[in-house]
Amino acid sequence: MEQVIISKNKSPVLWTYTVKTGKKGQITIPKKIRDKFNIKKRDPFMITLMSDGSILLKRETKKIDKLLECIRALPKIDWDKAWKEIEEERHLERS
C-alpha cells in the first residue's frame, strides 16, 4: 500500500491512502487512522455517495460512547455465565 502524505497547512486533507476492495467490497481502514481515532471492531460508519462521485466515509457518533468505552476496556468475560451465577445465588437463598 502506498501512502501519500499531504500535510500542507491550508489543506483539509491530512492523509491519503490507496486501498483495494476485498471479495465482498470491504475495504480496510489503515491502522494509523484506526489508532488515531480509536476505531474498534463493529464500530458503525455512514457511507455517503456525493454528487461529484466521491464516497464519504464518516464515523457515526455514538451517543453512549463513554459507556461503551468503559465496557470495552474490560477483560473478556462470559456474561451469560455471570448472570446464571447471580440467579443461582438468589435461588440458594430461597432454598
Partner 1 sequence: MYYCADSWFVIKLFQEDERALNIINDVREGKDWLFIPFTVLAETSKKFMQLGISKKKINEFFDIIEAYAKVRFVILDKNIANEAATISLTHKLPLLDAFVAATSKICECHILLSGDKDYTLLAKSKYIKVQSW
Q: Which residues bind partner 1 (CB under 8 A)?
A: 63-64, 66-68, 70-75, 77, 79-80, 82-83, 85-87, 90-91, 93-94
Shortest spacing between CB 62 and partner 1, in angstroms = 9
Which residue's entry shows cell 501519500? 4
Nearer to partner 1 by Cβ, of 59 and 72: the residue is 72
Q: Which of 59, 57, 37 is nearest to 48 (CA)?
A: 57
Shortest spacing between CB 39 and partner 1, in angstroms = 16
Shortest spacing between CB 18 and partner 1, in angstroms = 33
Nearer to partner 1 by Cβ, of 6 and 70: the residue is 70
Grid coordinates of 52? 461529484
Q: Which of 36, 34, 44 is nearest to 65 (CA)?
A: 44
